[in-house]
Structure 1
């Protein structure tokens, strides 16, 4: 079969769900095509540089119903994005499936300078991009790196748990954001675009079975209901996969138990100038969590357990189970329910396009963790969370992507509410010996106005600039700390407000047909908030202030040998004021506690790059590299290591303060990830793809200035896959392995009351996946 015939066949099978990029827009992926082959993508030759986009392309793509097929094949995806002045990492749905990225945390294995870590092994995550981020253990503050699903920002990142299925693509955007859409932030954003309804019938399913009885099942159906009205329904079920055991009794831990549904309904007018898209989703997650391994005893003399890579200890006293209203013998686990809806409305007036995005997200969580990492009840924790967020965005922007002048103006509103209650079992901690609970609420409201403009000058030079103004108001109306059988302490409410400008200015030059260089300066803004965990004194509720950063970035994108070699890279420098980090506060006669605080002055710098190489007919190689360094320039805080050491000698808590000026920020200096693949035709209708993938992550501090056990060790992981797929793209069958060398490593860490702990990463998994789609 000739290439042109294969492309025409693929287009006839996929219908309107396949929209191949024009010179000025990003290729729309094979919407919902389970296991769609990368080699089936095609793009026309780029005749001229694309203007700088100011309207999110995920919105532009929703109205695409035309099919443009050419015989010219490209083996390097996202060709049109090579003409956009950004350092974004764009990932197709196929690349994610191929690398086994099925959760948020997996993204750090396919993007440079990105770290996503679980909070104590749970479904809650902390994000770091270019080293910018912080450990928000209560998850009640705006994340440093914002997560979007279909243009909807998630104020509480946990609410996005379980939604990574039936995807179209993902974009990881580093650096300050907020002048073109959504919400301001200092670290960047991760934008997920899920597959949209199609106007012709499509359906598909996949089944993934792996070691430790892990099972992942997905299915979708998409098609027309009536003229101009289409729908899509997709679902996912995850079960099994638990790999931890308790050496004391052989109990098993870590099995997934969750399901999720997403439905979409799209209507468009006959002239395709008006589109309305209504989406809804539901997630139920009763999965067990990965439990910590204690690595150092801070308080007490009880020996720490000696554990193997796949072992852990935990406990649940019947008295604690009765207190929290959960069954006796409860294992560390989630009991979460999330649901939400969003409404997108677009209308093209001809001279401009108006977009409205309305969304509501809510969740209920019940989460049990054994944070001390032993069978003793020294820091057993159960928390309940009730949270919701309403967002509304309006933007008006250019409707002609070929115009020299591109512009967008808009406004964004967010209202969020949260209630949390932390239960602690300290019964076996001699200095306390009780159970207690901390309860608090949080109210938040913010508004912002933004605008962005770009103009393409002669000689392929484009100037662009953006401005944002944001007002954020949040309060903690009251917090109580109750010792059961003892006293209850009520703290008075706190509030904080901030109003800041953010912006961007830059220039790009399309030096040649295949080479773009750019320079931009961006100011980012992130509002302040509260540390609200384990509060003992009123001062702990003092709000921390806003974070601002001025980022200088120089980058380039180049396809020096089209369809053979791609080189993209960017260098950056961040100048922070009030950077938000987790510092330490010492409570007299109690001990050190973590507290989010502001660093008056700090800086970071580094680079990231991507090389895609197709040196010979069958070989395809992708390599991402991220490198960053940073230090505090002025930061007076409790020195946790010195304070702990002084307590070990004297038995008395006394704060040892240090100025951490010149101390490294503790983020991984080097991250590497990539893959190589050999694509071999077996017959005229069947091909085999086989190859390894790899990732490396440098050491990371879990406390300011941390050394020794205060740092997570570096690690290297190797994986591999082999995939059979027909030229039609209707099905594929894969065998794969992750952590092929069965390396012992740790993904995150922290401090409990009496111990420091690490969260271990998974051992070797070997599995198989089969999928079918039409």
Structure 2
């Protein structure tokens, strides 16, 4: 490891958007619910701008994992809810009903159901990734951090723009927007996007391609800023996703029908896959007999941000409603045999209301708020095991979640160099699982059952910031975050399988530095130490058919690590923006089911995991490199982004470890000095690295999801 560190540090160190600030134009962020320069915020924060989103081909939230240190976003079995892990703090769940450890916000509105975050990203101004517990300034409480999406806002200037991208495998991505002033102080911005094609996998039996995207998205924003201190932003948004799934391939031979059927050899080509659907699952879900794994999802919602300047104090109201309709068919055995075919049918609604007061008087700046949210979820989860276990499982339930919170944070300037920050949060959250029932083969295994859980935590933050000289900020903080408990809603015939797991509590200790040692260099770094209590861990219980996933709590664990981010502009137009992150964790008190040993023994085998390493990648690194070269009224910009991630060990055993990978993207762009158009030739994964995004098993199938192979194309943009 000693020989690796210098190479990683050289290769890797920060956030692309910091380049503008390194050139003298401060990046403004709203991470603390008010507009500030990113370098003046005493928290660990990465900013990703719209140019980098386009260059990396990030069209949904999962792609952010390669653009910021210490962040992993793992897809669940080829689709469905994203599984976030930030600084090793994460929650692996393919169901819909539990809260994530990392909060996702769009224009300050929380998206508390992970499956809601899978829409198409478009017309995004920037993404802010905050690390560590959040709660004293945000409506929701999280242990891992927050990801804030900020869309482009309406302005008083008439304008429009469009982007068309064409790529390998028939991929198409199109975006357009129109911005128009309606009258003095009133403007509207309408944006839309479409994504099609891109299938890079095939059915090993028939050769049919799999993986075509079919996504649409639209947003309309109305900004009202009359004289008198009133400011309003109204947001209407809609999305539809009828994409095919990313297929899974077989890591090992699959003996179908528990050995009584033909053997399907392990896939030598990771882009091979397979699928099938039984008449029973098709009839039960309304899917056709020739159904292909994929989704038929629709999201819609509205929000209103109203702000009033009351003279030294600002009152802000955030009101929102979001709805998700989800249908997802997955073939988790990656074969035509019906060993593990699944279907999710979800109807979810989220209402929220937040009120905030903020102000500043001399040396004191403060924010205080109240938050209310209600979630309603109706879920169907069907699992077809007919060819391996001779049964078919149906899980149905409803869930209601209500959250109430009071929160606040104050910053007191003790002197021109020293600042004290203190925050506090109290909340009450109830989660009620209603009518959870399971049937196997038509026989009721668990009658509809109600169960609930409640938490009333007090959390907070204390920080000290020191600015000894201009362009140097040192900070230290202590914070306590809590993630709500919940329920394991997988197949179970026993009430104990749905007993709630407890909330997890994280005590976070952090020190950091933000600096600009020269006009052309910016260096940000942070180190952290996390004391985990009741960490929520995906484990398993041993049932009639072997191990079945179930969440449990590890009594005590610990995570420590560091990140460093640089933005260097040593020559005019040249940007070098590397980043790196390191983290390591251990369980201190944890007794767990040993899944591989239990499968081998045919019975439950437990293991004491005290002292064992928490399974997540230790290292992450990346960089953006770009050089703007003037060409007589035009600018030619060669650019590249790099990503490296170390081995991802699995709690399931070495078979499911994901090896380290290194990916390089490249772009060559040409644009006039007035920025009215831009043409770019791009390549992603240009070295053709073959690697996996996730590995797992379901019933008798060991499966993995491959990452996209080398692709290339052209992107044309115009602004008027």
- Is the structural similarity TM-score above 0.5? yes
Tell me the alpha carbon deviations over residues 596-653 of structure 1, each in whole angstroms, 9 at most, x when there is no partner: 111100000000110112222343111110100001101111111221232xxxxxx2
Tell me the alpha carbon deviations over residues 719-759 of structure 1, each in whole angstroms, 9 at most, x when there is no partner: 11111111111111111111111111000122211122211
Tell me the alpha carbon deviations over residues 30-66 of structure 1, each in whole angstroms, 9 at most, x when there is no partner: xxxxxxx9879985699xxx9x988513xx5xxxxxx
Matched with 2:239 is 283
Aligned counterpart for 1:694 among listed residues 635, 642, 650: 642
Matched with 1:670 is 619
- Residue 590, structure 1, aligned to residue 567, structure 2: no
The answer as to whether partners of 1:348 and 1:399 remain within 8 angstroms in 2 is no
Q: CA 1:150–1:53 in structure 2 vs 1: closer, same or farther (change >3 Å)?
A: closer
Matched with 1:24 is none
Q: Distance in 1 between matches of 2:346 and 2:26?
A: 51
The answer as to whether partners of 1:54 and 1:408 remain within 8 angstroms in 2 is no
The answer as to whether partners of 1:128 and 1:145 remain within 8 angstroms in 2 is yes
Matched with 1:5 is none
Matched with 1:201 is 158
Q: Distance in 2 between matches of 1:532 and 1:133?
A: 18
Q: CA 1:219–1:40 in structure 2 vs 1: closer, same or farther (change >3 Å)?
A: farther
For residues 29-68 of structure 1, the aligned pairs below 5 Å read 43=24, 55-57=32-34, 60=35
- Residue 411, structure 1, aligned to residue 360, structure 2: no
Aligned counterpart for 1:342 among listed residues 303, 312, 315: 303
Matched with 2:586 is 631
How large is the RMSD of aligned CA atoms in angstroms? 2.1
The answer as to whether partners of 2:251 and 2:266 remain within 8 angstroms in 1 is no
Secondary structure of 2:365 counterpart: strand
Shift of 1:711: 1.4
Aligned counterpart for 2:209 among listed residues 252, 259, 268: 252
Q: Distance in 2 between matches of 1:106 and 1:264?
A: 25
Tell me the alpha carbon deviations over residues 413-463 of structure 1, each in whole angstroms, 9 at most, x when there is no partner: 11001111111221210xx21223111111110101011001112241111
TM-score by length of 2: 0.94
Shift of 1:712: 1.6
Q: Distance in 1 between matches of 2:555 and 2:26?
A: 50
Q: CA 1:679–1:769 in structure 2 vs 1: closer, same or farther (change >3 Å)?
A: same
Matched with 1:708 is 654
For residues 536-615 of structure 1, the aligned pairs below 5 Å read 536-562=493-519, 564-587=520-543, 589-615=544-570
Secondary structure of 1:200 counterpart: coil
Q: Distance in 1 between matches of 2:191 and 2:416?
A: 47
Matched with 1:511 is 468
Q: Distance in 2 between matches of 1:148 and 1:45?
A: 23
For residues 266-665 of structure 1, the aligned pairs below 5 Å read 266-271=223-228, 273-296=229-252, 300-301=258-259, 302-398=263-359, 403-429=362-388, 432-487=389-444, 489-562=446-519, 564-587=520-543, 589-646=544-601, 653-665=602-614
Tell me the alpha carbon deviations over residues 70-114 of structure 1, each in whole angstroms, 9 at most, x when there is no partner: xxxxxxxx9x21121111101222222222222111111111000
Q: Distance in 2 between matches of 1:168 and 1:696?
A: 26
Q: Distance in 2 between matches of 1:396 and 1:376?
A: 59
Shift of 1:412: 0.6
Shift of 1:376: 1.0
Secondary structure of 2:284 counterpart: helix
Q: Distance in 2 between matches of 1:334 and 1:43?
A: 45
Greater fraction strand? 2
Matched with 2:706 is 760
Tell me the alpha carbon deviations over residues 647-695 of structure 1, each in whole angstroms, 9 at most, x when there is no partner: xxxxxx2111011011111010000111212221111x20111032211
Secondary structure of 1:212 counterpart: helix
Matched with 2:14 is none
The answer as to whether partners of 2:31 and 2:128 remain within 8 angstroms in 1 is no
Shift of 1:296: 3.9
Q: Distance in 1 between matches of 2:459 and 2:445?
A: 43
Tell me the alpha carbon deviations over residues 264-304 of structure 1, each in whole angstroms, 9 at most, x when there is no partner: 11212224x10111101111110001011222469834344
The answer as to whether partners of 2:250 and 2:267 remain within 8 angstroms in 1 is no
Q: Distance in 2 between matches of 1:89 and 1:569?
A: 11
Q: Distance in 2 between matches of 1:770 and 1:44?
A: 27
The answer as to whether partners of 2:446 and 2:494 remain within 8 angstroms in 1 is no
Q: Distance in 2 between matches of 1:755 and 1:216?
A: 34
Number of residue pairs matched? 699
- Residue 91, structure 1, aligned to residue 52, structure 2: no
Secondary structure of 1:712 counterpart: coil
Shift of 1:129: 0.3
Q: Distance in 2 between matches of 1:317 and 1:556?
A: 58
